[in-house]
Amino acid sequence: MIRINENYTKLKASYLFADIAKRVGAYTAANPQSPAIRLGIGDVTEPLPPACIDALHAATDEMANRATFKGYGPEQGYGFLRELVAASDYAERGCRIEPDEVFISDGSKCDCGNIQEIFATDVRLAIPDPVYPVYVDTNVMAGRTGANVDGRYEGILYLDSTSRNGYVPAVPDAPADLIYLCFPNNPTGAVATRAQLEAWVAYARRNKAVILFDSAYESYIRDPGIPRSIYEIEGARDVAIEFRSFSKIAGFTGTRCAYTVVPKTLMAWDRAGNAHPLHALWNRRHTTKFNGVAYPIQRAAAAVYSAEGRSQTRALTDFYLGNARLIRDAMGKLGFACVGGDNAPYIWVNVGTDSWQFFDQMLSKAQVVVTPGSGFGKCGEGHVRISAFNSRENVEKALARIAAALA
């Protein structure tokens, strides 16, 4: 008799954004005359930058020509892109990352979800709350937790992120082995200072732990004092893996390209106490289960680093940050306490009521989709996340509708 992975039965029936899509779908089917404006899932709306489109066209032409056609590429990504990442995203900011420490992939969601495979099932987890649900759910699937009791899984050390700590959790007193951090944060939009990241790196070094640093929204940081990468912190090469994505900097949510950095100096240990480089393990996993990102897509991603690409992607992120400012100001004027939106495309709004109830109210009365905070964890209750990813026209319309619905 074939049996299931029973860890899946510990999960909520559906993934947060699938659940929201289902509710919005049902609402739209019942009310086809009032389409909803989506400020829920962080999905971009603006077209790819022209520099990326030009590169995509040119690479497509290469694929049409026998002399330049490409079949399987290197699983870890083409050298041209790995070199650009190492030079532009790291060397330019004073970080020492080698091109072969960069693994190109089809998304940070996949990488954040898959990375846990290279760690033992009995490692001690520390995960912020609220948090991008992929970190928790994939560890539940892998059997690293017990049951969900009162909205929290047994076996996870939750790092509460609330207004009391400015949504940046301090290092805990208890030891942990695998720590998830995300800055700029999804969902709160909070950023971590250098001193806060230094404390986390020191904690990880003390505990021989690994930090999984999700920095998918780093291109939204405008405060020059805020680190964009964990590798800007001395010693982080020995304790951290970093995830980055082209989705939110250049509109690649549908095009799919991201990367994960695994420094060769980063070690983890077997039961007998022997050290193993995680780079070799991730390389083994990646080459076994992944066949590389399409060549034209990698060429389009490489165009992000050209002079035109840099200015076009800056304009794109500035545009979404302009939306974020409008949202934060409007929600503030309605009397809600808000954070985020200045160095991140998300605004975290304290609505002071059940977050699914507020979601339903916004959907039915304003035809606006937001994300209920409780979907990100227990500490998210009483909040909603509003995404700045939409056209200016839709954001303005949504804000007017929200104000009218709450009047």
Report the residue closest to ligand MLT, judged by CB: 42
Our CB check for ligand MLT shows the closer of 247 and 313 to be: 247
- Which span (38-46, 174-182, 200-208, 236-244) binds ligand MLT, by CB under 6 A? 38-46
| Cα 348 to Cα 147: distance, rounded to the nearest angstrom | 28
Give a three-class secondary structure readout of the chain: CCCCCHHHHHCCCCCHHHHHHHHHHHHHHHCCCCCCEECCCCCCCCCCCHHHHHHHHHHHHHHCCCCCCCCCCCCCCCHHHHHHHHHHHHHHHCCCCCHHHEEEECCHHHHHHHHHHHCCCCCCEEEEECCCHHHHHHHHHCCCCCCEECCEECCEEEEECCHHHCCCCCCCCCCCCEEEEECCCCCCCCCCCHHHHHHHHHHHHHHCCEEEEECCCHHHCCCCCCCCCHHHCCCHHHCEEEEEECHHHHCCCCCCCEEEECCCCCEEECCCCCEEEHHHHHHHHHHHHCCCCCHHHHHHHHHHHCHHHHHHHHHHHHHHHHHHHHHHHHHHHCCCEEEECCCCCEEEEECCCCHHHHHHHHHHHHCEECEEHHHHCHHHCCEEEEECCCCHHHHHHHHHHHHHHHC
Q: Find the binder of ligand MLT among 76, 105, 145, 186 (CB under 6 A).
A: 186
Our CB check for ligand MLT shows the closer of 186 and 374 to be: 186
Minimum distance from residue 376 beta carbon to ligand MLT (Å): 8
Our CB check for ligand MLT shows the closer of 217 and 358 to be: 217
Our CB check for ligand MLT shows the closer of 41 and 53 to be: 41
Number of residues that bind ligand MLT (CB under 6 A): 6
Q: Find the binder of ligand MLT among 82, 109, 256, 279 (CB under 6 A).
A: 109
- Which span (41-49, 53-61, 161-169, 397-405) binds ligand MLT, by CB under 6 A? 41-49
Minimum distance from residue 245 beta carbon to ligand MLT (Å): 7
| Cα 41 to Cα 348: distance, rounded to the nearest angstrom | 13
Our CB check for ligand MLT shows the closer of 201 and 304 to be: 304
Contact status: 42 vs ligand MLT (CB under 6 A):
yes
Contact status: 145 vs ligand MLT (CB under 6 A):
no
Our CB check for ligand MLT shows the closer of 90 and 132 to be: 132
Footprint of ligand MLT on residues 228-287 (CB under 6 A)?
Answer: none
- Which span (35-43, 75-83, 149-157, 295-303) binds ligand MLT, by CB under 6 A? 35-43
Our CB check for ligand MLT shows the closer of 103 and 132 to be: 132
Minimum distance from residue 53 beta carbon to ligand MLT (Å): 22
Contact status: 227 vs ligand MLT (CB under 6 A):
no
Minimum distance from residue 379 beta carbon to ligand MLT (Å): 16
Our CB check for ligand MLT shows the closer of 108 and 263 to be: 108
Contact status: 41 vs ligand MLT (CB under 6 A):
yes
Our CB check for ligand MLT shows the closer of 203 and 213 to be: 213
Contact status: 130 vs ligand MLT (CB under 6 A):
no
Residues in CB range of 111: below 8 A, 6 or more apart: 103, 105, 243, 258, 260
Is 158:124 a contact under the CB 8 Å cutoff? no
Minimum distance from residue 237 beta carbon to ligand MLT (Å): 26
Q: Which residues bind ligand MLT (CB under 6 A)?
A: 41-43, 109, 132, 186
